[in-house]
Amino acid sequence: MNLNIAVIPGDGIGPEVIDQTVGVLGKIGDVYHHEFKFNRVLAGGNAIDAVGVPLPEDTVEICKNSDGVLLGAIGGPKWDSLSGEKRPERAILGLRKALGLFGNIRPAILYKELIDACPLKAEIIEGGIDICVVRELTGGIYFGERGRRNTEMGEEAHDIEAYSVGEVKRIAKTAFEIAMKRNKKVTSVDKANVLESSRLWRSVVEDVAKDYPEVELNHMYVDNAAMQLVRNPRQFDVVLTNNIFGDILSDEASMITGSIGMLPSASLGEGNIGMYEPIHGSAPDIAGMDYANPIATILSAAMMLRYSFNLVDEADAIEEAVSKVLKGNYRTRDIMSEGMTLVGTKEMGKLIIERIGNIKS
């Protein structure tokens, strides 16, 4: 298979973790007989420095004409003084809009080897955690009508939460399709006891569920879901929710795994194209020091193989290689503990590449 991948190294540690990920994909190509063509493009702070805008038009065009987009990290304090439209983070929003990416997929996986890094009690997380949060990305209160007005109590501000049937249906379908590839369980999170938008959300999700009789569906209010994530996270498989609830719950889920340096994410649309990136930031304070953990970006590439290219065996190979390296007691600084072997960004990438060859053979 020949595939074109747009690569956005970005800022801070982005280029370092991207380099290791490209190496891992190159190894996958050699072992499984695929040809990956990598097109590196500018976006974020580096694009501002080079051409004056966070998202150049040629970057958008290359991404649109690619089979998948791999992103390192964007932003940093260097550009904090810029106005909103000129900030590096606008590149991510621009790409989501240009590519029609409406769903954010964020796995929260706690590997057995990293249980000591989890802040929860051992009996709660015994056996590890594997949750996938599916968040609607382009609707809801973040994109609804907003404004200010004068009232008897002074100035008042409002932001409107609104969802259409079509918006809910497409993200619900995404969640059920993912559940079919996992443990066939969807927990839809809403606030239907209070919000009309949540009542619509719930009814549409139930309609979509009829097309997936193998998948168990249950509903949970968002306040209970937030509590259950720390009380009994192993009860969850796929968590489906709207934009604002997903923003909060996905961050909560990521924290119980112990390190954001381990967690990938994907933004998906109607077709196969998606944008894949680690959830961590650009960490400019450690850029160029060979400290960064590349595993989140490498696992993001595994998600790209799985969801955009339908290369399940290849995605499994990357994930298994990561697991084998962790079982071998190799750690970067963010997940280091007593008795482990400390390695840098480049060495971690090399170790994972070596394990991919061993898996296939």
Q: State the catalytic residues.
A: 142, 191, 223, 247, 251
Residue indicated by tokens 């065996």: 313
**Phi-psi sector, 296: left (phi>0), alpha (psi -120 to 50), beta:** alpha
Q: What are phi and psi of 114, to 5 degrees?
A: -115, 20
Best CA proximity match to 291, nearest among 343, 341, 338: 343
Residue indicated by tokens 């800022």: 11
Q: How far apart are CA 359 and CA 357, in angstroms?
A: 6
Q: How far apart are CA 250 and CA 256, in angstroms?
A: 10
User: Residue 14 is inside which H or E element, if any?
Assistant: helix 14-32
Contact, 228 vs 235, CB < 8 A? yes
Structure tokens at 305: 């193989």
Q: What are phi and psi of 113, to 5 degrees?
A: -70, -15
